[in-house]
């Protein structure tokens, strides 16, 4: 199992080995559409709960959801904080990472 799948809030990238960093970057680059859909689902769930709890929280979640929906998965992925943290750590360690060419596919996100 990849580290990225186990950690929803990846903070501790420094503790990963070089191989783990490369493996996780390669994995998420090949599955970026999955992570985009996962984030959309997370925001949908947040909106559902927030509408009951707090109207301001709901409006904030709605804005985030609409902003994410307006982006392409590729643009969201390149700005994803988790991805940036992994790349930053790889850069600090001077790791060489093969970057795949993103293909455009017909992606469906199910909630």
13: Cβ–Cβ under 8 A, 6 or more apart, which residues? 21, 85, 86, 88, 89
Task: State the helix-helix crossing angle for 18-30 and 81-92, rounded to 10 degrees.
Answer: 140
pTM of the model: 0.79
pLDDT given at position 79: 92
**Domain layout of the chain by residue ranges:** 15-92
Mean pLDDT to the nearest integer, 3-18: 74
15-59 per-position pLDDT tens digit: 889 999 999 999 999 999 999 999 999 999 999 999 889 899 999
pLDDT given at position 59: 94
CB 52 within 8 A of CB 77: no
How large a percentage of the chain has pLDDT more than 90? 58
> Could you tell me how far CA 98 lies from the centroid of its own chain?
19
* In the predicted structure, residue 92 carries a pLDDT above the cut 70: yes
């Amino acid at each position: 199992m990849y580290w990225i799948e186990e950690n929803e809030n990846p903070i501790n990238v420094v503790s990963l080995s070089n191989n783990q960093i490369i493996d996780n970057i390669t994995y998420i680059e090949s599955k970026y559409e999955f992570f985009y859909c996962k984030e959309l689902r997370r925001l949908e769930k947040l909106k559902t709960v927030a509408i009951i709890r707090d109207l301001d929280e709901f409006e904030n979640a709605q804005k985030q959801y609409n902003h994410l929906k307006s982006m392409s998965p590729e643009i969201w992925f390149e700005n994803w904080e988790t991805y940036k943290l992994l790349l930053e750590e790889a850069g600090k360690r001077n790791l060489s990472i093969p970057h795949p060419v993103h293909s455009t596919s017909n992606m469906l996100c199910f909630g």
